[in-house]
Structure 1
Amino acid sequence: MVLLLPVYQPSSHLSELIAEVDGPVVVVDDGSTPPVTGLPCTVLRHPRNLGKGAALRTGLRHIASAFPGSSVVCADADGQHSVSDISAVAARVEQTGHMVLGVRRVRRMPWRSRIGNALTRLLFRATTGRSVRDTQTGLRGYPGDLIPWLLTVPGDRFEYEMSVLVEAAREGHPYSQVEIATTYLNDNASSHFGPVGDALRVYRSLLRF
């Protein structure tokens, strides 16, 4: 398993997480200022901020080349995801060979995240007929043979992760869900998700289905 961390203006939680991980880690620095340096792992860099989706594809492309056939777990590096939850998602990928979503407990989310997740969850089910408990989770695992497909999914910003779910529903890719801890620091103040622009991009992904 390779851990993929797309980051932009990361805090000290990034180095703390990497220090606890047993295995290869790929960090994609999506145009941070100053650049991310000094980490004991592979660090790829975008010269300017291109968005989370673009950063994920950059990392996936590298992993497909440097670690062919390896499964990958994508996680947020802002303190939300623990090593134990990352390991649980990785283990489920190995067990099933499917895409795996780490789903948070809705009742422990900040109100902004809870309302947004509830709305997208309902719209996703109405649109695709599939039930996903946490459509906005950033903790996801993929078997190695899904990486070429993931590189074809459109979306450069936060909508990419919704597009992955939509395209998986369209093409019949199975998925599993694993409950994870719900940890937010300062009411999720470090999030770079734009409540208007990024939300519109997410809902546009659903409308295209």
Structure 2
Amino acid sequence: MESAEDSAVVLLPTYQPGGHLPELADGIRAARAGTAVVVVDDGSDPAAAPMLTAVAGLGCTVLRHPVNRGKGAALKTGFRHIAAAYPGRDVVCADADGQHSVADVLRVADRTRDAGRAVLGVRRFAHMPLRSRIGNTATRLLFRAATGRRVGDTQTGLRGFPGELLGWLGSVPGEGFDYEMNVLLYASRRGLPFDEITIATTYLDDNASSHFDPVGDAARIYWRLLRFAVSSRAPARVR
């Protein structure tokens, strides 16, 4: 049986968290005793203090940005902390807004450990809100055109990474939601493999709690994809 010292660290970036944050953290620690959970608060206002206090009371590490810097910045803060505090441990990143189940977080952790490579939790498109489905379809097609690789869900927030990749993850550019696309693009350029597993996703109020800007954030993601396609010298090869 895997010990707590060897298990993946769960990283939860959050901004203006609600009650789903302590619920998820508590569920993870209850399902797999001793699992380390690191929460990075990306500059939430004082109203978030009770939720952050609650997760700290559960034994989670809580790191805080004094101002909102973006999801990519929050992830990289978490990666740096985990690399220093839990050297060599795998990391599973999950959204803290109720989208991801405890079971799927642990499934991604287990696959990352067993495969020794990055793992993406792929959502079922039929269950996505329309705006998410359209955006993800567009980015999947552009990603394939730019890299020659098929990815089932380019915008998933549930991802597992082997511990050896943390230093590299900190070097990938991007501070906002574009960072997660950059990770896939730079991984493709380096030839890094990744697995995919299908996950269930719960959308509350048509994903109203999401802080993704469908105009500004989407534009930055498409710009990254186009720049990558133009700068890539190797011809795309469809797999």
For normalisation by structure 2, the TM-score amounts to 0.86
For residue 27 of structure 1, what is the aligned residue in structure 2?
A: 39
Residue 18 (str. 1) matches residue 25 (str. 2): yes
Q: Write out per-residue CA displacement over residues 23-46 of structure 1, whole angstroms, 9 at most, x where no aligned residue.
A: 000000000011432322100000
For residue 156 of structure 2, what is the aligned residue in structure 1?
A: 137
- Given residue 188 of structure 1, which amino acid in structure 2 is its aligned partner? N
- Given residue 122 of structure 2, which amino acid in structure 1 is its aligned partner? V
Distance 1:134 1:170 in 2: 18
Shift of 1:123: 0.4
Shift of 1:207: 1.8
State the SS of the aligned residue for 1:162.
helix
Q: Write out per-residue CA displacement over residues 162-201 of structure 1, whole angstroms, 9 at most, x where no aligned residue.
A: 0000000001000000000021001000000001110011
Residue 170 (str. 1) matches residue 189 (str. 2): yes
Q: State which drifts further: 4-13 or 36-45.
A: 36-45
Q: Which of 77, 85, 89 lines up with 2:108 in the alignment?
A: 89
For residue 79 of structure 1, what is the aligned residue in structure 2?
A: 98
Residue 54 (str. 1) matches residue 73 (str. 2): yes
For residue 12 of structure 2, what is the aligned residue in structure 1?
A: 5
Structure 1 ranges of 4+ moved more than 2 A: 35-38
Q: CA RMSD in A?
A: 0.7
Distance 2:9 2:124 in 1: 25
Shift of 1:117: 0.3
For the pair shown, the structure with the greater C-alpha radius of gyration is 2
Percent identity, aligned pairs only, is 65
Q: State which drifts further: 14-23 or 160-169.
A: 14-23
Q: Which of 123, 128, 133 lines up with 1:114 in the alignment?
A: 133
State the SS of the aligned residue for 2:183.
helix
Q: Write out per-residue CA displacement over residues 97-142 of structure 1, whole angstroms, 9 at most, x where no aligned residue.
A: 1100000000110000000000000000011000001000000000
For normalisation by structure 1, the TM-score amounts to 0.98
Distance 1:8 1:93 in 2: 26
Q: Which of 226, 234, 237 lines up with 1:207 in the alignment?
A: 226
Distance 2:54 2:25 in 1: 12
Distance 1:208 1:154 in 2: 13
For residue 179 of structure 1, what is the aligned residue in structure 2?
A: 198
Paired residues, number: 209
State the SS of the aligned residue for 2:63.
strand
Distance 1:185 1:196 in 2: 21
